Chain A
Amino acid sequence: MDAHSASSTSAAAATCPFGYTDAAAEPVSSAPSGPEATSGILAPVAEWVDPAQMMSNPYPVYERLRAEAPVAWVPALNKYLVTTYTECHQVEMDQEIFSADVSGATMTQALGARPMLRKDDPEHAADRKAINPSLRPRNIKEAWAPVFERNARHYLEVLADRGPEAAELNRDYAAPVASQNLIDLLGLPEVAVEDLRRWSHAFIAGTGNVLDDPQIWARCEAARAEVDALLADLIPYYQAHPNASMTSALANSGLPAEDVAANVKLTISGGMNEPQHMITNMVFALDRHPEQREQVLADPELWPAVFDEAVRWQSPIGMYPRETTRPTVLGGVQLPAGAPLGVVVGSANRDRTQFSGDPDVFDIFRPKQAHLAFGSGVHLCAGHWAAKTSIGQIAVPLLYRQFPTLRVDPRRATTWDGWVFRGLTQLPVTWNQ
């Protein structure tokens, strides 16, 4: 499959499935790690931060934090928020000082066991080693691109049937495509998209359950029971009949069953909403920037840049936690041992010190700079090649090939929600029949 078009044949010679050409990019300098804990001011307190406001639009809050207090104690969240690119990157690059194995991890409680996302190396590396091979670009292109294309084409028909007066892109296309892609990638036969969505949302609600709502824990428990019942059959099946799926890779990795189960649930939590939101993000972005849309529709080589800029501009994951293992200084601010941090990559991706021009503007032609939408360091999203392929090169290009006049329908409401996880909850679309 060609990197840019699902239906044309690929070019000759050994090329990356992602068809990178020699883009002129600035060298990126990495922040040195290992700060000395000998100086630094006490953390500023940002009492004004209002999480409710962030749920509807976090970007003004991010901008103010970057300007006034890039490492700040936020009482409303009981965390130090880190909002600038250099500091977020520094945290990600040093797992010794900034551990992912955070105390009281709600994710661990939601999933029933510690997944790889809440471990540091060497434990973490053992889990990652089990799934990295299946998620590298060549396997994604050869084993999975045809599946992603099949799923996109199926739901394009569903969307077409809805018609240009009623079609809602999140509900009718993005959600089921992302869900079915993950069902297939994980290798969960006969699981319906509605079931995967229910499990994913239960686990995510649990991960966000800082208020300790017992009803949310109950939903998690029910979801865990269903997934465990499925795995009780699937793990031995895949051990006897391995295939290209992630569950098969985990089942045959030698990892204990508890870790196999935790990482399957982690993938269910983290591998569905984000690709879903990237479909609607890309369409929203192109709709708001019609001159860029026209150029993309005329030149499919631009699709990778659309995905990359959309994921930077409206990052589906805005923040994740870390915890200091000893006193340290970050961005000139003293942090004690055991400090709960929020690494706000949604903010880092708008930082003018990293991105030229106006980073609040969606511009597929901006000079390429590394962004943090997939994280960085050892926890860099294992699924990032799968996301780039399934969404950036297949689901959205095919959508526009089928509906070249696709646009957001201004007659019906478009709604955004969230900041830790952020996306369009409704994106009504229309087209010329």
Chain B
Amino acid sequence: MSTITYHQSDGTARTLTVEDGTTVMRAAVTAGVPGIVGECGGQAMCATCHVYVRDEHLGQLPDISDDEEEMLDCATAPRDPLRSRLGCQIPIDATSDGLAVDVPESQV
């Protein structure tokens, strides 16, 4: 179980309490958090679940796979070299509690 906070560019934020086993993308889509589309359902095929992970949480993330690396270059919002990740590739598990991300202004 983790708490994940999604910050919007207008200053609002939403904090979810999420069970282990899902992903940052899936939790957001299920809860109706705006700005995370997840068009491909989590297969790293669409780059529409792009998030900017806040600096203090970068150490909690798994390494970027080759597929995620490639797809991040296709995200419509600018890619941040350190903070940009695909939400569908960030699992909710023992290491993700307290994670905070900024939702980009565009996904499509």
Contact = CB atoms under 8 A, between A and B. Distances in A.
Interface stretch (A17-25, A231-239, A320-328, A422-430): A17-25
B74 A28 contact: no
Chain A interface size band reads: 35 or more
Number of chain B interface residues as a range: 35 or more
B71 A136 contact: yes
Contact of A27 (B46, B73, B75, B105): B105
Nearest to B73: A16
Contacts of A20: 74-76
Contacts of A53: none
Contacts of A378: 40-43
A136 B105 contact: no
B30 A28 contact: no
13 contacts: A20-B75, A22-B76, A22-B106, A27-B34, A29-B33, A30-B28, A30-B37, A34-B30, A369-B108, A379-B41, A380-B39, A380-B40, A380-B41
Contacts of A23: 76, 106
Given A27-B8, A380-B40, A380-B46, A33 B30 contact: yes
Interface string B72-100: 01111110000000000000000000000
B19 interface: no
Contact of A93 (B35, B41, B73, B106): B41
A163 B44 CA distance: 44
Contacts, number: 101
Interface of B: 8, 28-48, 67, 70-71, 73-78, 103, 105-108
A24 B77 CA distance: 9
Interface in A5-56: 14-18, 20, 22-25, 27-34
Given A29-B34, A377-B41, A24 B105 contact: yes
Interface of A: 14-18, 20, 22-25, 27-34, 93, 125, 128, 132-133, 135-138, 368-370, 376-380, 382, 385
Nearest to B29: A30
A122 B102 CA distance: 31
Contacts of B29: 30, 33, 93
B55 to A, nearest CB: 22
Given A30-B29, A132-B45, A136-B70, A25 B108 contact: yes
